[in-house]
Structure formats: structure tokens, C-alpha cells
Amino acid sequence: MTNPSPKNLSTTPLDELHRELGARMVPFAGYAMPVQYSSIIAEHNHTRKAASLFDVSHMGQAILRGDNPLAEFEKIVPADLQELTDSQQRYTMLTHDSGGILDDLMVSRAGETLRIVVNAACKETDFDYIKKTIGRSCELEILFDRALLALQGPKAASILHKLSPDLRSMPFMSTQEIHINGIPCFISRSGYTGEDGFEISVAAENAEKLARMLLDESEVLPAGLGARDSLRLEAGLCLYGSDIDKTTTPIEAGLTWTIGKRRRSEGGFPGDTVILEQIATGTDRNRVGIQPEGRAPVRAHSEISDTTGVVIGEITSGGFGPTVNAPVAMGYVANTHREPGTSIQLSHRNKTIPGKIVKLPFVKHRYFKV
């Protein structure tokens, strides 16, 4: 078991529980985090068939307040937030003046405030940027005293309904304040696995009690970062720092759907000129799904070539997909080679592996929609 020293790393409110459960702990985004408890494949498969509990407390949580926080936040993201109704959530990103992505995030409306969840590795930079750009008109309250748990899988809803009688039927990407066996929680029906599920924000002091309560359910097992990564890769979901970063635009990344219709006509966000031009005329490269032949996974930074050996792109995420029982990958290729079915070659340990471009996702999303 790898147990990084807390002297060098931050810990989440569930750190002692992870160690009690026998988790293999690794450094991740400045935190000691569980990568697995049993095996990555077993945790992956259990999530697809039942429900798994992930600790995502390393993520950054905040509340934005002001006279019109929706309009103010629109100044730094391309989403149409002003059309959000109370308790709706949206995926968006912070962009810079050249159209690249500073981070991707979740934002939800709670009355006249916005709740924001950002990536762990970017949270200090993100929050500083938000304060710098719209801090004069809005107040950003960083929620240092909150944990965040993700209950993911097809049985997640029935488990929460049993523990929380006041839980109403929630569509995907909506939020609700509930009590889970008396513990106050703010939940969203969302997640990072392609499965139905919930992200549960809870006071840090109640996090371990809530986690134990959920793990007491026979259908729930703990899962770590390894399964979280393989699940999101099969679902074709981007990982910031790998599939998207400051050098990629939302259009190159296949995230055009995140740009609101009104924002496409009005602009008014960083990088709008570049992004709107790409919507109109296209891009030189695109994120695609990649299916290598054989059983060997092809990892990030491997070169992608056409059938004549000319380099046309690079793998950004790759691994073995337990659900599809085959290696899967994502990467960027020249626009001329983006069509599904296109034959390619992949570099792997000084070898060349044949592959093809495939349509994303590798596994169909099973989000709950009404």
C-alpha cells in the first residue's frame, strides 16, 4: 500500500476511512487520494452494474453572490447562464482571450446565487481569476468546509430514495437540497462516469458519517481514481490537463454544444472571436475516439499517423476499457482524418499498432432524463 505523507500532501475528510478500507493511496492534484481499493477493473465493473462511492472532495466548491451573478459569470464563460432556472446545472468552461480552456467546471443556480465546482488542480488559480475579473461586482465564497462525494451507477437513485424520503424525481443536471438520514446535503444529478448518479456536497464534519451510511448499503462499494478514469474514458468525457487545456478550444474538443445559442450570436466572453469563427468555419484538428487493434492500451502522448506514416495527431487519454473489453483512447487528429472508420497507426513502445477512428462515446451514456 502506498501511503503518502500528510506532511507533503493535503487530505480529504475521508482520509482515515480510505486507509481503514485498505485503499492504495497516491498523490493527485496535491492530495493523498485513493487510486483503488480492490482492483480497478472490479471497481469499474461494479459501477456499471450497481453503484460505487467516489471521494471527490479535492475539487473546489464555491458560491457566487451579487446583484446579477449569472450575467457577471457569463463575462468569463461561454455558456448561456441567464436562461438557467432555479436548481438547474450546466457544464461550462473558463476560456482565455485566444479561445483556449483555463478549466472546465459545473455551475448551478440556487435562487439568486451560483454554486460552482472546479477541478482540484486548478481551483486556486480559478478562484483567483474569478475574483480578479468579476470580484468587484460579485462576492465569491470558497467553501473550504465542504466535502464532495459521488455516488455513481444504475442503482444510485434507488439507494438515495431509500435514505432520503424528501428526494424528488430529479432529471439529469439538476440540483436539490435534501437530508440523507438527517444529514443536510446539496446534491446534483450528475457525474463523471456516463452512468446515472449524484454528486453530494456535505459539511466536512458529516462526510465520514455519510460515506459509512452509503457504504452500509449492500449495492455500494468504494471506488478510486483508477476506475473513475477508465469510466470517464469509456464515456468519452474530457479530463482537464489531458484532453483539454489552455492550448485547446471548446470547438476542437468537440464541446460546441456547450456554447449557448445566444452566446453564439452575442459573444461577450474571452476568446469569443476565435471560438465563434471556429464554429462558422471549422478547425484544423478535432478530438476523436480511437480504437487500437489487439489488447495493448496506447497511452497519452503516443503519436497518431496516417497509413503512410505521416504524423497527424497525438493521443491524449488511453487505457483498457473493461466494459468494451478492449483498449480505448481519445486524441486530436487533423480535420482531414476525423471521420469514423478512418484507418490510422499508433506508436506504442517503439512499435506501430493499427487502429481506427471511432465515434464517441465507447459506452452509451445512461443519464436519467424525464
pLDDT of 5 above 60: no
d(CA 37, CA 70) in angstroms, rounded, equals 40
* Per-residue model confidence (pLDDT) at position 165: 83
* Per-residue model confidence (pLDDT) at position 2: 52
Mean pLDDT value of segment 292-314: 97
Mean pLDDT value of segment 159-183: 93
* Per-residue model confidence (pLDDT) at position 1: 44
* Per-residue model confidence (pLDDT) at position 168: 80
pLDDT of 93 above 90: yes
* Per-residue model confidence (pLDDT) at position 369: 84
Given a contact cutoff of 8 angstroms between Cβ atoms, the answer to whether 140 and 72 are in contact is: no
- Which of these, 160, 148, 166, 147, lies nearest to 219 by C-alpha position? 160
* Per-residue model confidence (pLDDT) at position 3: 62
Give 8-41 pLDDT, tens digit per residue: 899 999 999 999 999 999 999 999 999 999 999 9
Burial class (CB in 10 A: 0-12, 13-18, 19+), 201: buried
Give 216-252 pLDDT, tens digit per residue: 999 999 999 999 999 999 999 999 999 999 999 999 9
Give 102-132 pLDDT, tens digit per residue: 999 999 999 999 999 999 999 999 999 999 9
Given a contact cutoff of 8 angstroms between Cβ atoms, the answer to whether 148 and 199 are in contact is: yes
Beta-carbon count within 10 A of 223 CB: 29
Domains of the chain listed by start with CATH number: 15-58+145-234 (3.30.1360.120), 284-370 (2.40.30.110)
Mean pLDDT value of segment 196-201: 98
